[in-house]
Amino acid sequence: MRFDTLIVGSGLAGLSLALHLGERQKVGLITKKSLAEGASYMAQGGIAAVLSEADSIESHVRDTLVAGAGLCNEAVVRHVVEEGREAIQWLIDLHVPFTADPEEAGHFHLTREGGHSFRRIIHAADATGAAVQQTLIEKVEKNPNIIVLEHHMAIDLITASKVGLKDNRCLGLYALDCMENKVKSIAADNTVLATGGAGKVYLYTTNPDTSTGDGVAIAWRAGCRVADMEFIQFHPTCLYHPKAKSFLISEALRGEGGILRLPDGTRFMPLHDERAELAPRDIVARAIDFEMKKRGIECVYLDMTQKSPEFLRTHFPTIYSRCLELGINISKEPIPVVPAAHYLCGGVMTDLSGRTDVQDLYAIGETACTGLHGANRLASNSLLECLVFSKAAARDILEKPKGESIELPLWDESRVTDADEEIVIHHNWSELRRFMWNYVGIVRTRKRLERAQNRIKLLTEEIEEYYSNFRISQDLLELRNLVLTAQLIVKSAMLRPESRGLHYSRDYPEKLSDAYDTILKHG
């Protein structure tokens, strides 16, 4: 197969790029499961943009810089914020059903989340991701120039050096057809990684099962630099219930007056930060973690009982109904919550057009490190980043001349056999996620990081031996990518002798006077 542009990932970044390119190019879009599965689809809160007269570009820029704890690239922040209104208008023109303002005809309802000075989050009730994704999926499926390959997983990039050329171009990639368990060579003039984050490297996460760090691992193996991998955002409020896997309790609840309480009903956030429940996510997550460990409790509680049932059903229908299914009436009782791994602020280093270190290879969305988020992402800036950088990458791709056609090598399975023990994969996966949660979580120490590093070294050796001798599977590929991503996270964390944003070290509780990015490169 050959495409003008091949996109890996079907979240907001991938779908938006496909639509921007689909009028003028033959586009391939590969996704590990179905188009509708992924972190973007699960997004509840909304998209941050300056849309009201009371708000301003300067305010949104300032809030983003404050949350980023000195590590944001201000030029990138300003660029993204300034593009916000146009990005939202594009979605409105595509007929995304955003929630209307009940008090002001012709306007959309805006909510407020932690770290924001104004109401600037446009949303579709509490299922914004689903509303946006479903709208874009319908457009993609109607476009004959966009070929969707569901249940396909990228394995590795095919660079020019692999076919005997001397330059560092990306020519396409190998992909596993997960249904047929066959490997395909796919050629493309441009390849774009939009694979999302790496939440599944941790035991508790709000991310879907597909978030296994694929884009970061694939780009690293191809020679790209990665940056700021130590900054993992833990969402403060994931529903704590044995039957509620990865169910997020949106930050918008705290924006609408939700109070965090201990099991005995005591409010605790004012003791940790003057902004209380509306402090940035890293502060709220750390406060909850502190209270849980100090008191030996399994969770804390988010109290929305001061709001009427009608308000909760109208503003948070998804959360209201899901909790009710599990026997929790949020209008009468508080919601049990715990922090969980939520967002990767670092990733593959890119410029303002999404270009990486490898020619003709782009990275957009959560996979990329653009400089927007710094040491901590401001709530609801992630979907905005997807929209702005997909448009920028499309512009850059469309301005380039068409590449020459090069015959790609086929996948070689001549020296491997079928796996004899699948249990090795599942055991290693479980071990990785547990020690990453315990040693490289919300609060870190040098000793914990060293323990994690030692275990990762052993796992890496086991997995590489397994990968070299047996036929690949989706589980094996995901584990291989997760272990590499974990290695990059730990290495980055060990290179930061301070506490800043999402990286909190007991050994180095103070923030250094100079802010610097942690950049990892080969050699």
Q: Please, is 430 exposed, middle or buried when counting C-beta atoms within 10 Å of its C-beta (0-12, 13-18, 19+)?
A: exposed
Distance CA 151, CA 302 (A): 37
> Residues 6 or more apart from 67 whose CB is under 8 A from it?
115, 280, 374, 376, 377, 378, 501
Q: Which of 340, 266, 275 is nearest to 303 (CA)?
A: 266
Q: How many CB atoms lie within 10 A of CB 100?
A: 12
At 181, which amino acid appears? N
Cβ atoms of 254 and 89 closer than 8 Å? no
Contact between residue 276 and residue 287 where contact means Cβ atoms under 8 Å apart:
no
Please name every residue paired with 239 in a beta bridge, in sequence order, or none if there are none: 337
Mention every residue, 6+ apart, whose C-beta is less than 8 A from residue 468. 416
Q: Which residues contact 102 (CB under 8 A, 6 or more apart)?
A: 109
Q: To the nearest 5 percent, what fractions of the chain are helix, strand and coil?
A: 40, 20, 45
Distance CA 129, CA 113 (A): 16
Write phi, then psi, for 244 (nearest 5 degrees): -110, 75
The two tokens of residue 467 are 């990968």
Which residue in 169, 254, 281, 377 is the catalytic one?
Answer: 281
Among the listed residues 418, 412, 415, 467, the one whose alpha carbon sits nearest the alpha carbon of residue 183: 412
Look up tokens 């579709």; give the residue: 124
Calpha distance 172→169 (Å, rounded) = 9
Bridge partners, 343 (sequence order): 233
Between CA 112 and CA 255 the distance in angstroms is 5
Q: Of 452, 449, 444, 448, which Cα lies nearest the Cα of 509? A: 444
- Written as one letter, the residue type at 429 is W
Which pair of tokens denotes residue 246? 């990865």
395 in active site: no
Is residue 448 within 8 Å of residue 439, measured between CB atoms?
yes
Q: Which two tokens stand for residue 223?
A: 């020679």
Going by C-alpha positions, the residue among 57, 118, 65 that lies closest to residue 373 is: 65
Spatial contact of 352 and 388, defined as CB atoms under 8 Å apart: no
Active-site positions? 281
